[in-house]
A and B are shown apart, each in its own frame.
Chain A
């Protein structure tokens, strides 16, 4: 896998290319583990939270077009002309 470095197996070791162990790599977490399930749930929760945020945002009062002073730079330039 060119994009994923040298993926190693369980209890893999990294070395300095001279056969000397630098440290023991902790074992990797297998697929469909508890961690996977919790993270998947978190992703779903995040998805629903974003949806909730948009619904809340859409419920916020809109600024009034007529009564407010147009102050964004483009508008200010238009007025200046």
Chain B
């Protein structure tokens, strides 16, 4: 292909981002009257977007020098800085384009079957289009302020979609919860941006501020380095510098969006939305936005000269590690099929945070890439099960569905094997990279990640066995979903099996040993395409880590097999009904989601609301009341004084009139030219 054509492909990115917005608006403004037209508009634009993402991958593969390409339009111009809106295309954007458009396209195809009889079919497609456009906008944003703009748009779409069935109280409450929790994170994100702008505005040299990519020395990394050299981040008598504080504020945004502890509580409740949305927003794309932001603005968390090992990255890693473990322990005791998957999403996002925190940039993005496919597929499988059981979501009322839903069963098995980290499925490769990096970063963090891998395999196979094996325990008559719903599952099963090989080079197996030493590094295709800095960095394979993670996955599988398939071990019932206080409390701790909801409810009801009540009562009593009393007092006093002049005697009034006339005459005399 001609170089000019490749360049044109790259430069078409803005139109691809705009197209879903236009489709969404057309549907809202009138096309909703025709379900077919709504569907064609929405699916059509995302199908074009998918074709474009393939072309973009081809263009950047054929000519790596085309990236990064960017264009900026001034949005807010002041004497000291310029905010811009623009489009950035580089290898990371290309990979995210593939993730968003593939998952969105297949989810939209699936939606046609799933929402066929819903009165809000057209409205749903409108929201899907707007969401896809917002997510693509977030991906191509050239600077942090533009990211924030699309970040909020994504949040609004999420609010609409979680509350799609707004007449259900649970859905209305869930969307409100998601909105409030995300606003807490976004508030921190915005404070961080303003602080960053204030600290660095003198170092952008007239270029768009807070830009990820720009002229040499005027991108985020370059400006942070210049500002650091000029001691712009120095704080006297503080243990950390200003950049660390800024990075922690900005991190609040990704923590909320990617449902990391302690702002994770909205995600499982967000399952009140229709299942296609659970697959698109709350599994594959939107929640990955937090991980994407940390990756895109990575220099914020590094030392100014690009090294890991900062306090900010340690916070990222620790939050990720705790979240991954916490969510895995909660998923073990849940019975709602969608909520099990929701908790597994929280856990896997924790893995990605650990990867980024431990400095394994490519590994974290690789896990994001793989996870998007297998988690979207697992959610769509759960939707097919719910559809086939006429709304049943409790895994205790399922079982034996393998013979009724063979296609869904097969895809769910592929997804379960992948997320559990079984070789050679995709989850194995990316999880292994993250665990290796975590172990290198901190032994205990790595150990927690291996333990979490065991729990992951356990709760995923628990869900799988309870759903598809043994006898059917429900009342409804199960049936397989139509092809229009199962073909997207099969389409997602392909990358769930194969995408891992993009991050694997068989040469690393040469000389593989199990003494804890890493083999010589060998390049792989994923990290050759997506990396941070000037050139990729590759890890060798650690035989011991690989063996440990495989063993952990196998142990998790085996326990689930004995307990839920063979039913030889009755530990689940013994734990649930244990007389031992510690065991009983541990079970309740897991079942009640580590009591985070109860804690927040108590905090709001017993601390926040009474505190506000006290403060506002004080303000009302001592400030507002006194202001009103003061105004009344002034009026009364002035009235009292003026009352003395109203005595009813003509002589007094004549004296006043005479006084005014004399005074004015005197003034006129003074100022006459």
Contact = CB atoms under 8 A, between A and B. Distances in A.
Interface of A: 1-9, 12, 14, 25-29, 31-32, 35-36, 39-40, 42-44, 46-47, 49-54, 56-58, 60-65, 68-77, 80
A56 B501 contact: no
A3 B385 CA distance: 11
Contacts of B116: 28-29, 31
B528 A58 contact: no
A5 B274 contact: yes
A57 B57 contact: yes
Contacts of A68: 535-536
Q: Which of A3, A14, A65, A70 has the most CB of B within 10 A?
A: A3
Task: Enumerate the 9 nearest inter-chain pairs by beta-carbon distance, A residue then B residue, closest first.
Answer: A74-B359, A71-B533, A1-B391, A72-B537, A47-B491, A73-B308, A43-B487, A68-B535, A62-B523
B113 interface: yes
Contact of B386 (A3, A8, A58): A3
B359 A73 contact: yes
B532 A46 contact: no
A52 B451 CA distance: 36
Interface string B12-55: 00000000000000000000111110010001000100110010
23 contacts: A3-B383, A4-B391, A5-B119, A8-B119, A36-B482, A40-B487, A43-B484, A43-B487, A46-B488, A46-B491, A47-B491, A47-B494, A54-B501, A56-B58, A65-B523, A72-B362, A72-B536, A73-B302, A73-B359, A73-B532, A73-B533, A76-B307, A77-B307
A49 B537 CA distance: 29
A20 B638 CA distance: 59
Contacts of B39: 29, 35
B105 interface: yes
Q: Which of B32, B437, B484 has the most CB of A within 10 A?
A: B484
Contacts of A40: 109, 483-484, 487
A57 B441 CA distance: 30
A76 to B, nearest CB: 5
A3 B274 contact: yes
B114 interface: yes
B427 to A, nearest CB: 16
Nearest to A58: B525
Interface in B512-540: 520-525, 527-529, 531-538
A28 to B, nearest CB: 5
A4 B167 CA distance: 12
Contacts of B306: 71, 73, 76
Interface string B119-146: 1111000000000000000000000000
B262 interface: no
A64 B117 contact: no
Contacts of A71: 306, 531-535, 537
Nearest to B373: A50
Given A5-B164, A71-B532, A72-B361, 7 more contacts: A1-B386, A43-B490, A46-B106, A47-B494, A53-B98, A57-B502, A70-B535
Contacts of B522: 65
B670 to A, nearest CB: 74
A44 B491 contact: yes
Interface of B: 32-36, 39, 43, 47, 50-51, 54, 57-58, 61, 98, 102, 105-106, 109, 112-122, 164-165, 167-168, 274-275, 298, 302, 306-309, 313, 338, 358-362, 383, 386-387, 390-393, 437, 440-441, 482-484, 487-488, 490-491, 494-495, 498-499, 501-502, 505, 520-525, 527-529, 531-538
Nearest to A25: B119
Given A29-B116, A64-B523, A77-B359, A54 B165 contact: no
A36 B502 contact: no
B62 to A, nearest CB: 9
A61 B646 CA distance: 100
Contact of B307 (A43, A51, A73): A73
B553 to A, nearest CB: 24
B322 to A, nearest CB: 21
A55 B210 CA distance: 37
Contacts of B491: 43-44, 46-47, 50
A25 B528 CA distance: 51
Contacts of B359: 72-75, 77
A44 B483 CA distance: 11
Contacts of B524: 62
Given A4-B118, A12-B119, A47-B494, A69 B391 contact: no
B298 A63 contact: no
Nearest to A5: B165
Nearest to B484: A36
B498 A72 contact: no
A54 B360 CA distance: 22
B59 to A, nearest CB: 12
A62 B359 CA distance: 21
Contact of B308 (A5, A8, A76): A76
Contacts of A63: 523, 527-528, 535-536, 538
A49 B492 CA distance: 11
A49 B54 contact: yes
A6 B57 CA distance: 42
A49 B528 contact: no
Contacts of B313: 73
Given A42-B47, A43-B487, A71-B533, A57 B61 contact: yes
